[in-house]
Amino acid sequence: MPELLLHYIWQNRIWNTFPQMTTEGQPILIHSVGQHNLNAGPDYAHAHITIGEQEWVGNVEIHINASDWYKHKHHLNPAYDSVILHVVCNADKDVYNSKGERITQCVLNYPKQQDYITQLLQQTKTIDTIYSVVKCSNLLLQHPDCITQGWRQTLMKFRLEKKYESIQRLLNITQNNWEEAFYISLTRNFGFSINSLPFELLAIQTPLTFLRKHRNSLFQLTAMLLGQTGLLNDNKPLTEEQKRLYKEYLFLQKKFNLVPIDPSLWKYSRTRPYNFPEVRVRQLAHLIYQSEFLFSQLMETQNLNKLNSLLQIQMNDATIYEQLNQPMMMSKNTIELLLINTIIPYQYAYNTAKQQNTNIVYSLLQSIAPENNSIIKQWKSIGQNVTSALDTQALLHLYQNYCQPNDCINCDVAYQIFQINTY
């Protein structure tokens, strides 16, 4: 029997109607199986179990044979000292941790009818291929409701938590400066997927504190940011307007000891003119120029229309941009992507950190039109209904964090398919 199948039986509580006992005869009550650990260390973390009359919270390790504990050298690894239960099919050996303490073991009691197991293995060949993307796709066409609304809500929660972790890492780097962290994230997302890295480097090498010193001058903000892209230089012909910007940048570069990023990092292939780095940088400069307290306003605003207006560039004088033949106004789609990928995750993170209600972000996502990309098109092709950004974000998270890494054991869709295939 493959060990992954035992994991699946444990994870999805297929043993639920069967009594569980330790190898010494003590009853076991499993309140929570724990969280599946995909990294080094015990298989499941934060399990909640009562053994006899003693309640435990800790880690669970799973093997087919108890002796596998020694084959994997867990008895030498202090990371396994926190294991409260060793779940096995065959308790062929007592096991001890690195402190010499005996680990409680359980021979998992679950439905062992040969037909049940044989049918599962024959249908799937191996448990690790049962929930392949093709298999899921075919079954989802027949049973699109396998991706339940509850699972979508859970996926959205997971996605926001993951983004919160990324924001926390930025906060650590910026010494808990929310505005600086937000500026880096916002700038990165102005590059969207194709130029996100150089835009992030642009923000890191052009601190917000420098930009604020010239916030009242759109010309200087534009000169500083465009100069920092490395795209303004003497090695190529410049328009009169670019020459003026470059001259101003040289002054600002000397003033702040600025170092431009490598211009070769910028990508133009398969990029439409309105997504060119120069256009997006000018839009960013304009947004900083028109919004002195942008971060605080965005964090305090819970109305979608007001959020849209805060991100919409106010063109007081569009003459220069008409001359440059550049579309300075950000499209509705661009603003919505910035809302989805930057503003809403920061609202969630900020409210979480301040211990305030985060429910508003779900309402905002439900009010935004669904995204339209290649992954979402695939979900639509197999019968998935998408009506809002909450749906698309949930499905993106499902694809990126469960389908791509084949983490079927933790996927509710795989569990639904398992039920369909085996009952």
Question: What is the predicted pLDDT for the residue at 115?
Answer: 63
Question: What is the predicted pLDDT for the residue at 413?
Answer: 81
Question: What is the predicted pLDDT for the residue at 360?
Answer: 94
Say if residue 122's pLDDT is above 80.
Answer: no
CB-CB neighbours of 223 under 10 Å: 25
Does this model's pTM top 0.75? My answer is no
Question: Residues with Cβ < 8 Å from 368, sequence gap 6 or more?
Answer: 304, 336, 339, 340, 388, 389
Please answer whether residues 24 and 48 qualify as being in contact, where contact means their C-beta atoms are separated by less than 8 angstroms.
no
Lowest pLDDT segment from 132-141, 166-175, 389-398: 132-141
CB-CB neighbours of 74 under 10 Å: 23
What does each C-alpha distance from 393 to 50, 89, 304, 372, 396 come to in angstroms? Answer: 38, 39, 17, 11, 5
Q: Which two tokens stand for residue 214?
A: 């010239």
CA distance 346 to 398: 21
What does each C-alpha distance from 413 to 151, 362, 419 come to in angstroms? Answer: 8, 22, 10
Question: Residues with Cβ < 8 Å from 407, sequence gap 6 or more?
Answer: 38, 401
Element (H, E) at 189: helix 178-190
Place of tokens 């979402």: 376
Nearest to 10 by CA among 127, 119, 156: 127
Say if residue 206's pLDDT is above 80.
Answer: yes
Question: What is the predicted pLDDT for the residue at 124?
Answer: 39
Q: How would residue 125 be classed by pLDDT, with cut points 50, 70 and 90?
A: very low
CB-CB neighbours of 371 under 10 Å: 20
Please answer whether residues 24 and 47 qualify as being in contact, where contact means their C-beta atoms are separated by less than 8 angstroms.
no
Question: What is the predicted pLDDT for the residue at 313?
Answer: 85
Question: What is the predicted pLDDT for the residue at 318?
Answer: 46
CA distance 216 to 57: 57
Please answer whether residues 69 and 86 qualify as being in contact, where contact means their C-beta atoms are separated by less than 8 angstroms.
yes
Question: What is the predicted pLDDT for the residue at 319?
Answer: 42
Long-range contacts of 267-275 (CB under 8 A, 24+ apart): 267/194, 267/195, 270/194, 271/194, 271/195, 273/326, 273/327, 274/327, 274/331, 275/192, 275/194, 275/195
Say if residue 44's pLDDT is above 60.
Answer: yes
User: Which letter, b or e, does each residue of 80-90 get, where b requires 16 or more Cβ atoms within 10 Å of its Cβ?
Assistant: bbebbbbbbbe
Please answer whether residues 33 and 13 qualify as being in contact, where contact means their C-beta atoms are separated by less than 8 angstroms.
yes
Q: What are phi and psi of 345, to 5 degrees?
A: -60, -35
Please answer whether residues 188 and 344 qualify as being in contact, where contact means their C-beta atoms are separated by less than 8 angstroms.
no
Q: How would residue 118 be classed by pLDDT, with cut points 50, 70 and 90?
A: low
CA distance 398 to 299: 27
pLDDT tens per residue across span 95-107: 999 999 999 999 9
Please answer whether residues 125 and 100 qualify as being in contact, where contact means their C-beta atoms are separated by less than 8 angstroms.
no
pLDDT tens per residue across span 59-69: 999 999 999 99
User: Which letter, b or e, does each residue of 383-402 get, where b requires 16 or more Cβ atoms within 10 Å of its Cβ?
Assistant: ebebebbbbbbbbbbbeebb
Please answer whether residues 26 and 106 qualify as being in contact, where contact means their C-beta atoms are separated by less than 8 angstroms.
no
Say if residue 308's pLDDT is above 60.
Answer: yes
CA distance 179 to 159: 22
CA distance 383 to 139: 10
Question: What is the predicted pLDDT for the residue at 420?
Answer: 64
